[in-house]
Structure 1
Amino acid sequence: MEVSVSGFHGYLKRQERPDPDAAIRLEIRAIHRASRGTYGRPRMVQALHNRSYTIGHKRVARLMREEMLRGKIKARFKHSTDNRYIQPISDNVLKRRFSVTSPVAAWVGDITYISTRQGWLYLAVVLSVQTRQVLGYSLSDRMPEGLVQQAFMNAWTKTPVDHGVIFHSDRGRQYTGSGFRSMIAERGFVQSMSRKGNCWDNAVAESFFASLKKEEATGVYPSKAQAHASIASYIHGFYNATRLHSALGYRSPNDYAKHLKHSA
């Protein structure tokens, strides 16, 4: 096939033309690395806006596709707490009032399993519904009532709150036990529990665990020590500090907590 001289020179000029998206591609790759490969299009768009880039969802989707980048898909909820023991059950006082703008102040707690080659670990967390921060956690190779008590006290000592705050959990025996019930009652909390077999009543905690399993604890850790280090890094160094949360208007939990404090 014959090509004209002018056509050939035009082709060369097009090949030499700089990529207008080169700078933004670098930013997208940097954000993807900083997010531990977790951000999909919505968070990527917001992260770019936070860096003063004016860019739309379609363009970001195209560039991520061309760079072969994609966010991780959240796993479905897996209920993990043993509720076979007969204990007093509190009403569902929270009633899925999970909005960060809800006037009802609430903490939520839950337990999940972490797999290592040295055996299971059990992670108990306490989160704020209003800020989505992990306020406290406890990681142990056993799952006694003391596991959730330690997570609660880790949260309480750092973030004391007024009386009347709801503490919501499932019906696991760690939360229905007299020790935990007394601990939160003495500090003015109103206990709330999910309805039987309904994990969506504790969706804030379940959603955190789904993110953790998708973004950090994705497989079997070589050792318990590595699991401890990984979970601490994820909670303190990423999830609370920098991870953009859709429920918070794509702010990090720590940033949103500061915003609420300054707005009060």
Structure 2
Amino acid sequence: MISQHLKAQQIKVGRHLAGRLMVEANLASRQRRRHQYRSRGVEAFVAKNLLERNFEPTAINQVWCGDVTSLMVGKRWYHLAAVIDLFARRIVGWAFSLINDANLVSRALRMAAEVRGKHAGLMFHSDQGCQYTSQLFQSALLEHGITQSMSRRGQCWDNAPTERFFGTLKSEWVPTKGYTTVEEARQDMTSFFMRYNRIRLHSYNNYLSPIAMEQQAA
């Protein structure tokens, strides 16, 4: 990724030279840990896998994906829900809470709906977590006219783009020891999402940022 940033500034450098420069600057590449699939708990409704790993929509607001990950704050785990528009991998909604429940993912969805508006034919894909099978989340989808799709049980790669996004967040941004306070974590997440959408080069977008990719396609 460092080599791509340098190329974007018209500085020619390969991955090996970028690696040597990182060593000289005392920088280390942090590797992503393997995702551990979470049990969905008590289910209310399990939707069919309509997405079927078709992760390349042709326009914005065709497919949104969502998931939840955990971050250490003080000595407790807090939970981050995110919503991604798959067209350019842009983060369009998120929510942060001590409690990992239907309210958390519904708040992330509402933010996405406020940012993007209502669109015919929009699909939302997630795993079979109990937050997403809940009646509260079903009602939120219905309110915004969104069709639901779910990964097959135990198949984390059915939601691969969201898994990769959380891997990027943790390997590139989140402090190794976590955060001291909730406010620190919340502010840092806000900064990351702004940077990710506006500045960070994404290989899926031919090394354009998500917002730049959307603007190019408009």
User: Are residues 1:155 and 2:94 paired?
Assistant: no
1:75 aligned residue: 33
Residue equivalent to 1:224:
182
Provide Cα deviations, 1:115-159, integer angstroms capped at 9, x if missing partner. Answer: 112522111110011111110100011122111111001011111
Deviation (angstroms), 1:188: 2.3
The normalised TM-score by structure 1 is 0.74
CA 69–112 in structure 1, closer or farther in 2 if over 3 Å, else same: closer
Equivalent residue letter for 1:109? G
In the alignment, the residues of structure 2 paired with residue 127 and residue 50 of structure 1 have an alpha-carbon distance, to the nearest angstrom, of 24
Distance 1:65 1:127 in 2: 33
> In the TM superposition, what are the counterparts of 1:1-264 in structure 2 within 5 Å?
43-80=1-38, 82-99=39-56, 101=58, 105-217=62-174, 218-236=176-194, 238-261=195-218
Structure scoring higher RCO (CA < 8 A, sep ≥ 6) equals 2
Distance (whole Å) between structure 2 residues aligned to residue 58 and residue 222 of structure 1 = 36
TM-score, length basis structure 2: 0.89
Distance in 1, matches of 2:60 and 2:81, equals 26
Matches of 2:197 and 2:111, distance apart in 1: 15
Question: Is the 8 Å Cα contact of residues 118 and 224 (structure 1) preserved in structure 2?
Answer: no
Report how far residue 215 of structure 1 moved: 1.8
Taking structure 1 as reference, are residues 45 and 117 closer, same or farther at Cα in structure 2, changes over 3 Å only? Answer: closer
Structure 1 alignment gaps of length 5 or more: 1-42
Percent identity (aligned): 33
Q: CA RMSD in A?
A: 2.2
Mapped partners of 2:179, 2:20: distance in 1: 35
Code of the residue aligned with 2:178 in structure 1: it is V
Residues 45, 214 of structure 1: CA spacing in aligned structure 2 closer, same or farther, 3 A cutoff? closer
Amino acid in structure 1 at the alignment position of 2:2: M
SS state at 2:198 partner:
coil
**Residues 44 and 117 from structure 1, CA distance in 2 versus in 1: closer, same or farther, beyond 3 angstroms?**
closer
Counterpart AA for 2:192: Y
Aligned residue-pair number: 217
Q: 1:143 to 1:68 in 2, by over 3 A?
A: closer
Residues 151-170 of structure 1: per-residue CA shift (max 9 Å, x gap): 00101111125211110001
Max Rg structure: 1
Q: Which amino acid letter does the alignment assign opposite residue 231 of structure 1?
A: M
- In 1, Cα distance between equivalents of 2:208 and 2:21: 23
